[in-house]
């Protein structure tokens, strides 16, 4: 996957690009009449499966983009605070 941990500008560009793509896809679907039908999207055959599949991928990607920078530590994180030299 894209290394977005260290580069804040790159991470911002990727998130902004993803948001723009989502808005463009929504606008195109709306313009083509995808939301004008009386039948709800989730009531169509396979609608719940598609919704769950897309939703799971969105959760995974957002978790990766948001949680990785918060939880990622340097390789020598535990060695920096080592005070065992006097033992």
User: Where are the domains positioned within the chain?
Assistant: 8-72
- pLDDT over 70 percentage in the chain: 75
Say how far apart CA 53 and CA 74 lie, in whole Å. 33
Position with higher pLDDT, 59 vs 74: 59
What is the average pLDDT across 65-77?
77
Q: Following CA atoms 36, 41, 43, 49 in sequence, which dihedral angle do they give, to the nearest 10 degrees?
A: 170
pLDDT recorded at residue 26: 85
How many Cα atoms are found within 13 Å in the side-chain-facing hemisphere of 78? 0
pLDDT tens digits for 7-24?
777 777 877 888 889 889
Higher confidence at residue 61 or residue 32? 61
Mean pLDDT calculated for residue range 18-47: 76
- pLDDT for 56: 92
State the pLDDT at residue 35. 66
Is there a contact between 2 and 14 (Cβ–Cβ < 8 Å)?
A: yes
């Amino acid at each position: 996957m894209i290394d977005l941990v260290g580069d804040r500008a790159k991470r911002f560009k990727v998130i902004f690009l993803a948001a723009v793509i989502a808005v463009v896809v929504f606008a195109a679907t709306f313009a083509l009449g995808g939301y004008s039908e009386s039948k709800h999207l989730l009531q169509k055959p396979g609608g719940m499966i598609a919704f769950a599949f897309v939703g799971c991928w969105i959760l995974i990607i957002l978790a990766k983009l948001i949680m990785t920078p918060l939880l990622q530590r340097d390789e020598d994180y535990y060695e920096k605070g080592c005070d065992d030299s006097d033992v």
